[in-house]
Structure 1
Amino acid sequence: MIPTPDLSHLTKKDYEHVYEPAEDTFILLDGLEEDAGKLRSAHPRICLEIGSGSGCVSSFVGSILGASTTLYLTTDINFHACRCTRQTGHQNKIPIDAVNASLAAPLMRRLRHAVDVLIFNPPYVPTYSDEADDAQLRADIPGAWAGGKDGMQITDVLLDQVEDLLSPVGRFYLVAVKQNDVPAIRRRMLDIYGLQSEVVLQRRAGGEHLYVIRFTR
C-alpha cells in the first residue's frame, strides 16, 4: 500500500480556506494506486492536476512515479490552495509547480497534446448556478464543492478541454458522483472526442455514490 502523503504541516487555519482531504480524495488516491503499475510503465513526462487543493493528490502521484522524471503541474483558482500545494509537495519531497488559475486556461497552448496524466476532482455538488458562479469568483473554499446545475457546471468546461490536453498515451482521471450522470459523461467523451473510459472504482460514502473514471484515447 502506498502511504497517504504527509499533511501534518497544514493547520486548522489552512483548512478554513482549502478543502481538507475527504472520501472523494481517498477514492481518487485508491484509483490511482490501482493503476500504479500502468502509470509507472508509461513513464509519463507531464502530470497536471486541476484544482489541487491541499496538494495531497499530486504528491501521491509523485510517490508513485518518483520526483525526478515527471513534471508535476497543478492549477487552482484559490491562492491559498496553491500555497498549500507547494508546501505539501515540499513536505513530501515532490517538486510541484502550482499555478493560480482557473482550470487549464493559461496552459492550453503550451500543453496541447502533451499531458500524460490529467487529474480532476471537481466541485461536483449540485447547487444553484449563481452559487457556483459566486464560488468561482470568490476563489475560496466553496469553489471546491459548489458544482452548479447537476454538479456539472465546472466539469463541463474542462471536459471540452481534455482532448486538447491529453498526449497520445495520456490518461484522464475524473471524480464524479451519481447525480452527475456518469454514463452520460462517458458517452459524451466517446461520441464527441473518441475517448474510451472505464470506471476504475466506485464507492458509497455517507450520502454520496462516488466514482473514479479513467479516460484514454
Structure 2
Amino acid sequence: MIPTPDVSHLTKKDFEHVYEPAEDTFILLDALEQDAESLRLSLPRVCLEIGSGSGCVSSFVGSILGPSSALYVATDINPHACHCTKLTGRQNKTPIEPLNASLATPLMQRLKHAVDILIFNPPYVPTYDDEADGAQQGADIQGAWAGGKDGMQVTDVLLDQVENLLSPIGRFYLVAVKQNDVPAIRRRLLDTHGLQSEIVVQRRAGGEHLFVVRFSR
C-alpha cells in the first residue's frame, strides 16, 4: 500500500482557505494506486493536476512514480492552494510546479498533446449557477465544491480541453458524483473526441455516490 501523502505541515488556518483531503480525494488516490503498475510502465513525462488544492494528489502520483524525470504541474484558481501544493510536494519529495490559473487555459499550447497523466477532482456539488460563478471569482475554498447546474459548470469547460492536452499514451482521471450524469460524460468524450473510458472506482460516502472515471485514447 502506498502511504497517503503527509499534509501535517498544513494548519487549520490553511484549511479555512484550501480544501482538506476528504472522501473524494481518497477515492482518487485509490484509483491511482489501482493503476500504479501500469502508470509506472508507461513512463509518463508530464503530469498535470487541475485544481490541486492541498497538493495531496500530485504528491501521491510522485510516490507512485518514484524518482523519475516526470514534470509535475498543477493549477488552481486559489493562490493559497498553489502555495500549499508547493509545500506539500516539498514535504513529500515531489517537485510540483503550481500555477495560479483557471483550469489548463494558459497551458493549452505549451502542453498540446503532451500530458501523460491528467487529473481533475472538480467542484462537482450542484448549486445555483451564480453561486458557482461567485465561487470561481472569489478564488477561495468555495471554488473547490460549488459546481453550478448539475455540478458541471466548471467540468464542462475542462472536458473541452482534454483531447487537446492528452498525449498519445495519456490518461485522464476525473472525479464525479451521480448527479453529474457519468454516462453522459463518458458518451460525450467518446462521441466528440473518441476517448475510451472506464469507471475505475465507485463508492458511497455519506449522501454522495462517488466515481473515478479514467479516459484514454
TM-score category of the 2 structures, normalised to the smaller one? over 0.9
Q: Which runs of 5+ in 2 are unaligned?
A: none
1:12-91 equivalence runs, <5 A = 12-91=12-91
Identity of aligned residues (%): 80
What corresponds to 1:118 in structure 2? Answer: 118
2:215 counterpart of 1:215: yes
Deviation at 1:207, TM superposition (A): 0.1
Within 1, Cα distance between the matches of 2:70 and 2:30? 20
State whether structure 2 residue 205 is matched by structure 1 residue 205.
yes
Contact 1:67 1:95 in 2 (8 A): no
Counterpart amino acid of residue 167 in structure 1 = S
Q: Which structure 2 residues correspond to residues 115-194 of structure 1 after superposition, within 5 A?
A: 115-194=115-194
**Separation of aligned partners in 1, 2:175 and 2:93:** 26
Q: Report what 1:6 is aligned to.
A: 6
Distance of 1:110 and 1:3 partners within structure 2: 32
CA, structure 1 residues 138+67, in 2 after alignment: closer, same or farther (shift >3 Å)?
A: farther
Aligned partners of 1:205 and 1:111: how far apart in 2?
Answer: 35
1:122 is paired with a residue whose SS is coil
Give CA deviations for 1:152-177 in whole Å, capped at 9, x if unaligned: 00000000000000000000000000
Query: Alpha-carbon deviations, 1:117-176, whole Å to 9, x = none?
Result: 000000000000000000000000000000000000000000000000000000000000
Check conservation: 1:67, 1:93, Cα contact below 8 A. no
Once the two structures are TM-superposed, the CA of residue 68 in structure 1 deviates from its matched residue by: 3.2
Asked if the contact 1:189–1:195 (Cα under 8 Å) also holds between the matched residues in 2, the reply is yes
Quick check: 1:125–1:147 contact (8 Å CA) kept in 2?
Answer: yes
What is the RMSD of the two structures over their aligned residues, measured on CA atoms? 0.5
For 2:107 and 2:170, locate their aligned partners in 1 and report how far apart those are by CA, in whole Å: 16
SS of structure 2 residue aligned to 1:98: strand
Q: Distance in 1 between matches of 2:185 and 2:67?
A: 33
**Per-residue deviation, residues 12-53 of structure 1 (Å, max 9, x unmatched):** 000000000000000000000000011000000000000000
- The number of residue pairs the alignment matches comes to 217
TM-score between the two structures when normalised by the length of structure 1: 0.99
What is the CA deviation profile of residues 41-91 of structure 1, one whole-angstrom value per residue up to 9, with x for unaligned ones? 000000000000000000000000124321000000000000000000000
Q: Give the Cα separation in 2 of the matches to 1:156 and 1:122.
A: 10
TM-score (norm 2): 0.99
Secondary structure in 2 aligned to 1:133? helix
Query: Could you tell me how far apart the structure 1 residues matched to 2:93 and 2:215 are?
Result: 28
Secondary structure of 1:202's aligned partner: strand
Runs of 4+ in 1 over 4 A off after TM superposition: none
Structure 1: which 5+ runs fail to align? none
Letter in 1 for 2:27: I
